[in-house]
Amino acid sequence: MPKARRKGGAPVDPADPEAALEAGLKLLVRREHAAPELARKLAERGFERDAVDAALERARELDYLNETRYAESMARHRVGQGYGEQRIRAELAHNGIDGDTVSLAIEALEVDWVEQARGQLERHFRHPPAAREDEARMLRHLAGRGFPGDVAHRALAAWKDEAP
Measured CA to CA, the distance from residue 74 to residue 63 in angstroms comes to 17
Contact yes or no for 54/20 (Cβ under 8 A): yes
- The full DSSP string for 96-164 is T--HHHHHHHHHHH---HHHHHHHHHHHHHSS--SSHHHHHHHHHHHHHTT--HHHHHHHHHHHHHH--
pTM above 0.85, yes or no: no
Nearest to 54 by CA among 35, 33, 30: 35
Give the tens place of pLDDT for each residue, 89-107: 999 999 999 999 999 999 9
Give the tens place of pLDDT for each residue, 7-54: 566 677 889 999 999 999 999 999 999 999 999 999 999 999 999 999
